[in-house]
């Protein structure tokens, strides 16, 4: 790939040899040859046009809070949307660009006395990543609050997908099934609420998360989706896997559906542990747990 040509595009910062351990919440994985941080939506579109034209592999990442990279070199271009993070709150409507931090948007909504995004105050993703995953908690998710999303289509047109088009289901969305679409901006519609009540709910949930989740270690949140009418954590715990380790990857003692990096876990340590847990649960319960996290750059 021609780095000089990429820099000549002037779409934003181009960084070489980036450690994925610094770009994922697992703090693990190999090196990415090139990362670009487009300055704004227009620069992102220009960059995608260029990469598609040249047939260069690329991947968008948000905060890397749902990703497990292999320890191999990623030869494509990773595109982080950190700079595409403008947002505005008007009355009960929030327009937020894809790179906005979901936590920031959720706390700003609470400050504005808006209710509906309390569920998101423990989810360390971006708006784009949260819509792609239909991130959620406490029986709510992005599908309840997102009214429309501005996307870049595979044909490189800017278009609008409405809530019904986005096909939101439990940790699933249209974007996940159509990986060639890019979320550029979302419109979130909330309701007016009582600021104190909203902040109390957020504080209560934060307390609960701190008590039940291993937030003092790097992880990528829940490893497996909950099977219907059950909890992946319960099944893993019943297999006596809490504390089980491969290298520096460990099934959390606090929450069995979290795998934590207790030191210098490699991507392979985490990957092997995920597959081991999955096979042990299958052996005991004949339940095939679905992995919620995404493996990137594995054979």
Ligand X SMILES: Cc1cc2nc3c(=O)[nH]c(=O)nc-3n(C[C@H](O)[C@H](O)[C@H](O)COP(=O)(O)OP(=O)(O)OC[C@H]3O[C@@H](n4cnc5c(N)ncnc54)[C@H](O)[C@@H]3O)c2cc1C
Distance of closest approach, residue 265 Cβ to ligand X, in angstroms: 14
Evaluate the CA torsion angle 220, 165, 109, 41 in order and state its sign: positive
Which CB sits closer to ligand X, 225 or 282?
225
Among 128, 143, 233, 267, binds ligand X (CB under 6 A): 128
Backbone angles phi, psi at 105, to 5 degrees: -65, -40
Which has the closest alpha carbon to 36: 19, 4, 11? 11
Which CB sits closer to ligand X, 106 or 133?
133
Among 45, 68, 123, 281, binds ligand X (CB under 6 A): 123
Contact between 137 and ligand X (CB under 6 A)?
Answer: yes
Which CB sits closer to ligand X, 126 or 266?
126
Active-site residue 155, yes or no? no
Residue in the shown chain whose Cβ atom is closest to ligand X: 62
Backbone angles phi, psi at 208, to 5 degrees: -65, -45
C-alpha span between 155 and 65 (Å, rounded): 28
Q: Which candidate in 171, 173, 185, 219 is catalytic? A: 171
Distance of closest approach, residue 44 Cβ to ligand X, in angstroms: 9
Distance of closest approach, residue 170 Cβ to ligand X, in angstroms: 9
**Do residues 284 and 239 lie in contact, with contact meaning Cβ atoms separated by under 8 Å?**
yes
**Do residues 15 and 58 lie in contact, with contact meaning Cβ atoms separated by under 8 Å?**
no
Active-site residue 238, yes or no? no
Site string for ligand X, 44-63 (x = CB under 6 A): ---------------xxxxx
C-alpha span between 110 and 108 (Å, rounded): 5
**Which residues within the stretch 226-265 sit at the binding site for ligand X (CB under 6 A)?**
none
Among 67, 68, 265, 277, binds ligand X (CB under 6 A): 67
**Do residues 171 and 136 lie in contact, with contact meaning Cβ atoms separated by under 8 Å?**
yes
Active-site residue 292, yes or no? yes
Q: Binders of ligand X: how many residues, by CB under 6 A?
A: 33
Among 36, 45, 106, 183, binds ligand X (CB under 6 A): 183
CA 116 to each of CA 91, 109, 201, 230: distance values in angstroms, whole numbers, following the listed order: 14, 9, 11, 25
**Which residues within the stretch 206-225 sit at the binding site for ligand X (CB under 6 A)?**
215, 219-221
Contact between 12 and ligand X (CB under 6 A)?
Answer: no
Which CB sits closer to ligand X, 254 or 285?
254
Among 32, 34, 98, 236, binds ligand X (CB under 6 A): 98
Distance of closest approach, residue 149 Cβ to ligand X, in angstroms: 9
CA 236 to each of CA 248, 265, 282: distance values in angstroms, whole numbers, following the listed order: 19, 20, 10
The long-range contacts involving 154-158, CB below 8 angstroms and separated by at least 24 positions, are 154/178, 154/180, 154/181, 156/45, 156/48, 156/49, 156/52, 158/45, 158/184
**Do residues 183 and 128 lie in contact, with contact meaning Cβ atoms separated by under 8 Å?**
yes
Which CB sits closer to ligand X, 192 or 208?
208
CA angle 220, 31, 257 (to 5 degrees): 15
Which CB sits closer to ligand X, 86 or 240?
86
Q: Give the footprint of ligand X on this chain (CB under 6 A).
A: 25, 59-67, 81, 98, 122-126, 128-130, 132-133, 135-137, 175, 182-183, 215, 219-221, 294
Active-site amino acid positions: 171, 222, 292
């Amino acid at each position: 790939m021609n780095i000089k040509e990429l820099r000549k595009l002037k779409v934003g910062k181009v960084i070489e040899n980036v450690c994925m351990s610094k770009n994922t919440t697992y703090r693990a994985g190999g090196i990415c040859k090139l990362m670009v941080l487009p300055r704004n939506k227009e620069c992102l579109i220009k960059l995608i046009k260029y990469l598609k034209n040249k047939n260069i592999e690329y991947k968008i990442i948000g905060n890397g809070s749902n990703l497990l990279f292999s320890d191999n070199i990623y030869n494509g271009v990773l595109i982080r949307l950190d700079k595409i993070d403008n947002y505005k709150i008007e009355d009960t409507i929030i327009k937020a660009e894809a790179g906005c931090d979901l936590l920031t948007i959720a706390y700003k909504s609470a400050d504005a006395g808006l209710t509906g995004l309390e569920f998101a105050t423990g989810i360390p993703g971006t708006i784009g990543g949260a819509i792609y995953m239909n991130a959620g908690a406490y029986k709510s998710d992005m599908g309840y609050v997102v009214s429309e999303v501005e996307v870049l289509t595979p044909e490189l047109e800017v278009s609008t997908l409405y809530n019904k088009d986005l096909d939101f289901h439990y940790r699933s969305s249209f974007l996940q099934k159509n990986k060639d679409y890019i979320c550029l901006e979302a419109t979130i519609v909330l309701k007016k609420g009582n600021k104190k009540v909203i902040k109390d709910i957020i504080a209560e949930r934060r307390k609960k998360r701190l008590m039940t989740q291993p937030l003092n270690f790097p992880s990528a949140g829940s490893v497996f989706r909950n099977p219907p009418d059950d909890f992946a954590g319960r099944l893993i715990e019943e297999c006596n896997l809490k504390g089980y380790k491969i290298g520096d990857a460990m099934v959390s003692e606090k929450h069995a559906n979290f795998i934590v990096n207790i030191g210098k876990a490699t991507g392979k340590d985490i990957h092997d542990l995920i597959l081991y847990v999955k096979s042990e649960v299958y052996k005991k319960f004949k339940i095939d747990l679905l992995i919620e996290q995404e493996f990137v750059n594995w054979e």
